[in-house]
Amino acid sequence: MQIFLHVLWLILACSSVCATLSKSDAKKAASKTLLEKTQFSDKPVQDRGLVVTDLKAEDVVLEHRSYCSARAREKNFAGDVLGYVTPWNSHGYDVAKVFGNKFTHISPVWLQLKRRGREMFEITGLHDVDQGWMRAVRKHAKGLHIVPRLLFEDWTYDDFRNVLDSEDEIEELSKTMVQVAKNQHFDGFVVEVWSQLLSQKHVGLIHMLTHVAEALHQARLLAILVIPPAMTPGYIQTLKDHRPRMVWDSQAAEHFFEYKKNRGERHVIFYPTLKSLQMRLELARELGVGVSIWELGQGLDYFYDLL
């Protein structure tokens, strides 16, 4: 069982306006700017009174970059922690190096599995593989497993049908995965295929994944299956722009806020906060399961004090 914690940004399209401000206008504008700390803290968020339900937007903006650097390598959560990094978000690569000890698995979103014909498979995206970064992450986090995500890309219904119904196809697919993992010094793969089939042919899919997992395990490689949930965006810039009142939803165990755009359109955003993440980590401990985070670098740096 996996619990997915999703730390996500709201992407805003902003237009710039040039104007001349009077001294009084400049002072008013400056007074409306929310401050952000840029230095590290000598205490984790738990000791700074930040893991609360009565949260203020100003406090999130002020503190979100200020994690406890002295404890960045200390692990607070005993279960497995999987974190994704993506090529389009370089900060995620830095997060993996700084907080690597807090993770058991890092999954770079690099690879795609494509079917090229009968019993012919190719793993693409290898140009994104960064061996230097992999060495650096492993150097700072002993025992960390690097398991790139492998997405079944551009598969037609006929591709799935032909592979799921053929032991020879499944064997060749498994061989391709093992060979690439060995050549690229991966510890295995995070396999993403479930959502591509929706509700179709899940029995055959389970059969195929079982054989793939067995082949990887025989080669001393890891196989992790992902069943991704729906995703929603959230948020720092919105907090700066609107200074909304943060509300705690006790039933969802999550904070949300409302704001209006220029035309008066009402928007509601639910977004992970220190308190909501802490409660999910406590639930994971209670259930004896791990967590995964999509994606590193998108969320707030002080979140990692909790891990």
Q: What confidence tens digit (pLDDT) does each residue in 261-291 have?
A: 777 788 888 888 999 999 999 999 999 999 9
Residue owning tokens 């079944």 = 152
Per-residue pLDDT at 205: 87
Per-residue pLDDT at 19: 33
Residue with the bigger pLDDT between 214 and 31: it is 214
| Cα 185 to the center of its chain, rounded Å | 22
Separation CA 213–CA 231 (nearest Å): 27
**Partners of residue 255 on adjacent β-strands:** 248, 271
- In this prediction, residues 103-116 reach a mean pLDDT of 96
For residue 246, CA distances in Å to 58, 79, 257 come to: 10, 30, 5
What's at 259, amino acid-wise? Y
- In this prediction, residues 12-36 reach a mean pLDDT of 46
Per-residue pLDDT at 28: 46
Per-residue pLDDT at 267: 85
Per-residue pLDDT at 265: 80
Separation CA 76–CA 86 (nearest Å): 25
What's at 257, amino acid-wise? F
Per-residue pLDDT at 269: 87
Per-residue pLDDT at 1: 39
- In this prediction, residues 117-130 reach a mean pLDDT of 95
Q: What is the DSSP string of 213-227?
A: HHHHHHTT-EEEE--
Q: What does the block give as tokens for 83?
A: 């974190």
Q: pLDDT at residue 9 above 60?
A: no
Q: According to the per-residue pLDDT averaged within each range, which of 99-113, 257-271, 288-302 is highest?
A: 99-113
The torsion region of residue 141 among left (phi > 0), alpha (psi -120 to 50) and beta comes to beta
In SS3 terms, 21-89 reads as CCHHHHHHHHHHCCCCCCCCECCCHHHHCCCCCCCCHHHHHHHCCCCEHHHCCCCCCCCCEEEEECCCC
pTM flag (> 0.75): yes
Closest CA to 300 of 239, 251, 245: 239
Q: pLDDT at residue 65 above 70?
A: yes
Per-residue pLDDT at 242: 87
For residue 130, CA distances in Å to 37, 68, 127, 184, 224 come to: 31, 28, 8, 10, 21
Q: Give the three-state DSSP class for 12.
A: coil
Closest CA to 259 of 237, 230, 232: 237
Residue owning tokens 């053929």 = 166
Residue with the bigger pLDDT between 112 and 260: it is 112
Per-residue pLDDT at 7: 33
Per-residue pLDDT at 16: 30
- In this prediction, residues 30-41 reach a mean pLDDT of 78
Residue with the bigger pLDDT between 28 and 12: it is 28
Q: Where are the alpha helices (DSSP H) in the chain?
A: 23-32, 57-63, 90-98, 131-140, 157-164, 167-184, 194-197, 202-218, 236-242, 274-287
pLDDT in tens, 209-257: 999 999 999 999 999 988 765 554 458 888 888 889 999 999 999 999 9
Predicted confidence band of residue 163 (pLDDT cuts 50, 70, 90): very high
Q: For the ranges 11-20, 55-64, 143-152, 181-190, which has the lowest average pLDDT?
A: 11-20
Residues 6+ apart with CB under 8 A from 1: 287, 289
Q: Give the three-state DSSP class for 146.
A: strand
Mean pLDDT score across all residues of the chain: 85
